[in-house]
Chains A and B, each alone.
Chain A
Amino acid sequence: MADPRDVVIIGSGPAGHTAALYTARANLNPLVLEGEPSSTSDQPGGQLMLTTDVENFPGFVDGVQGPELMTIFKEQAARFGAEYITVKASKVDFSVRPFTVWADDEEHRARAVIVATGARSLMLGLESERRLLGYGLSTCATCDGFFHRGENIAVVGGGDSAVEEAIFLTRFAEKVTVVHRRDQLRASKIMQDRAFANDKIDFRWSAVVDEVLGDGKVSGVRLRDVTSGELSDLPVTGVFVAIGHVPNTDIFRGQIDMDENGYINTHEGTRTNVEGVFAAGDVQDHVYRQAITAAGSGCMAAIDAERWLESQPKTPTNW
């Protein structure tokens, strides 16, 4: 069996890449299990792979495209020797050291692990949603907005992601209806102002999607008013869901402490309850959830891991 690595990083969004950059520069020869392609936000590059203009990442006066930003992150880390493999970690064992991470039937052993698997978009959880996925119901507005040129579409949700998608989709659609279960948006002020100023955006307040309608492809959504319970149909050809996020922590269940929503608990920086396992980015943060905060915590995890490794005796019998 191969010698364990100093550091294995799981995940490759802003947190994973930044942890890779810092640990590579500390000569810790990190291995990054970057994930596998998918059309949800759980994929190499993370949630930014499904976005377009990123206007709030410092250093880019005119903004930058999300996928482009992640390409730059990765190449910067790779320049200092971070090694990437395009596989999705499927199982971990944090009960004994060195730790083990499995991906594609391969076993990777590590003295320290940085978990940066991020979060993915929540879906509605309806049977009709699964049936119509790819036939008008989409997890990727930047990919599929194009197919709704001149048509009416619905965006479900009221946070930044929902409002950003709605604004983006007005490039193609005749009208975008934002369906939100509350009577006001949660999105940031600047995004709200832009949405309210956009003639192509309508709002359906205090409503949830009861059913996605359509036989073969999306023809509308059945909405339920959360106060009156009244049902009404909104004819649309496209439905984009942005109702929140869920952390990608399924494989860590029973291995590290999490809160009731599955976010990893961290303390003293990025430490988890398992000594030698660190967590960074959205996987441990449901409050800030920004590319810049994820990158910052990836840097913290790298420094925490480096210092922890230095403090450990390197006994040949153990590793």
Chain B
Amino acid sequence: MPPDPRRDPLPMSSLTALTDATFEEEINSSDQPVLVDFWAEWCGPCKLIAPILEELATEYDGRLRIVKVDVDESPDVARRYEIMSIPTLVVFHDGVAKKRMIGAKGKGQLVQELAEFL
């Protein structure tokens, strides 16, 4: 059956998806801070913030990188960073987790929380 766009409002994301295999390398090699969105397909609030993160990725281009980790597909990374609730957003800088934000938030609040990394 072809995908029904009505049933999957956000079929594609332009954000890079990191996995158990690629996570360390990507986070450690980035010279920009990296915001990681831990999410999963079944999580309603995750879907609500996805378009906001896409917007921010464009607005912060060159200053802050935004990537995604599907906790279902990459359980090791999720476990290593003790993710117990999604969405959880973690900002990494120089390979180190600097800030953790739990739960969906509106764009205005995210912009405020991320200001220190820009």
Which residues on A are within 8 Å of B, measured CB to CB? Answer: 36-40, 43-45, 49-50, 52, 66-68, 71-72, 75, 86-88, 104, 133-136, 138-140, 142-144, 146-147, 217, 238
Q: Is the interface of B mostly helix, strand, loop or mixed?
A: loop
Name which of B17-25, B37-45, B59-67 contacts chain A: B37-45
Q: Can you name the residue of chain B whose Cβ is closest to the Cβ of A66?
A: B44
7 further interface pairs, Cβ-Cβ under 8 Å (given A36-B108, A133-B85, A134-B85): A37-B48, A39-B104, A71-B9, A75-B6, A104-B108, A142-B44, A217-B84
Other-chain contact of A37, B6, B45, B86, B102 (Cβ < 8 Å): B45
Cβ of A38 and Cβ of B45 under 8 Å apart? yes
Q: With A and B bound together, what is the CA distance between A109 and B9 in angstroms?
A: 30
Q: With A and B bound together, what is the CA distance between A110 and B19 in angstroms?
A: 48
Cβ of A37 and Cβ of B105 under 8 Å apart? yes
Cβ of A133 and Cβ of B102 under 8 Å apart? yes
Q: What are the nearest 7 A-B pairs in CB distance?
A: A36-B106, A134-B102, A39-B103, A37-B104, A37-B48, A49-B44, A134-B85
Q: Which residues of B contact A75 (CB under 8 A)?
A: 6
Other-chain contact of B44, A88, A133, A136, A143 (Cβ < 8 Å): A143
Cβ of A138 and Cβ of B82 under 8 Å apart? no
Q: Which residues of A contact B32 (CB under 8 A)?
A: none
Cβ of B52 and Cβ of A37 under 8 Å apart? yes
Q: Which residues of B contact A36 (CB under 8 A)?
A: 105-109
Chain B, interface size category, equals: 20 to 34
Q: Which residues of A contact B48 (CB under 8 A)?
A: 37, 43-45, 49
A12 to chain B, nearest CB (A): 11
Q: With A and B bound together, what is the CA distance between A135 and B109 in angstroms?
A: 21
A249 to chain B, nearest CB (A): 19
Q: Does B56 contact A (CB under 8 A)?
A: no
Other-chain contact of B84, A43, A68, A104, A147 (Cβ < 8 Å): A147
Q: With A and B bound together, what is the CA distance between A29 and B71 in angstroms?
A: 41
A41 to chain B, nearest CB (A): 10
Q: Which residues of B contact A140 (CB under 8 A)?
A: 43-45, 85
User: Per-residue 0/1 for B81-101: is the Cβ within 8 Å of any A Cβ (1 yes, 0 no)?
Assistant: 011111110000000000000
Q: With A and B bound together, what is the CA distance between A46 and B99 in angstroms?
A: 28
Q: Which residues of A contact B78 (CB under 8 A)?
A: 147
Other-chain contact of B45, A49, A88, A147 (Cβ < 8 Å): A49
Q: Which residues of B contact A88 (CB under 8 A)?
A: 106
Q: Can you name the residue of chain A whose Cβ is closest to the Cβ of B51?
A: A86
Q: Which residues of A contact B7 (CB under 8 A)?
A: 68, 71
Q: With A and B bound together, what is the CA distance between A50 and B48 in angstroms?
A: 11
Q: Which residues of A contact B107 (CB under 8 A)?
A: 36, 86
B23 to chain A, nearest CB (A): 18
Other-chain contact of A134, B42, B47, B71, B84 (Cβ < 8 Å): B84
B17 to chain A, nearest CB (A): 18
A42 to chain B, nearest CB (A): 11
